Structure 1
Amino acid sequence: MDVRVDRHRCLGAGMCVLTAPQVFDQDEHEGLVVLLDGRPAPDHRAAVRLAAAVCPAAALTLTEP
């Protein structure tokens, strides 16, 4: 799985951080998404899929083989 974020689309809702804190964070200044791991471990992938699904701005893109 390859994860990408679009900080220009991000609204700072924080759903990604709540859903997959091992993979996403928010910056301290704007509250926008910060990608911690662009290739998450298999045990984090279900949470990443859920984070992408619940993102209100559709700022997360997942590519899976």
Structure 2
Amino acid sequence: MGLLGAPMRLSAQGCSQCKDNASAMPASAQAGYRQAIVLLMMAGVGLFVGTLVILRRNR
């Protein structure tokens, strides 16, 4: 039980590798990634809000 409550050390190596790879890409590819991130974020928010609306109507 003590191990479950203890904070674990997180490694950010994956994030730094992704940043290095993204900075080595051409500007057009970087812009495409930025647009894709926004699109995926909007899809996630839309699903969340849609679920809340459906749950609110069925209540």
Where relative contact order (Cα < 8 A, 6+ residues apart) is larger, the structure is 1
Query: More helix by proportion, 1 or 2?
Result: 2
The answer to which structure has the higher strand fraction is 1
TM-score, normalising length: structure 1: 0.25
Larger radius of gyration: 2
TM-score of the two chains, using structure 2 as the length reference? 0.27
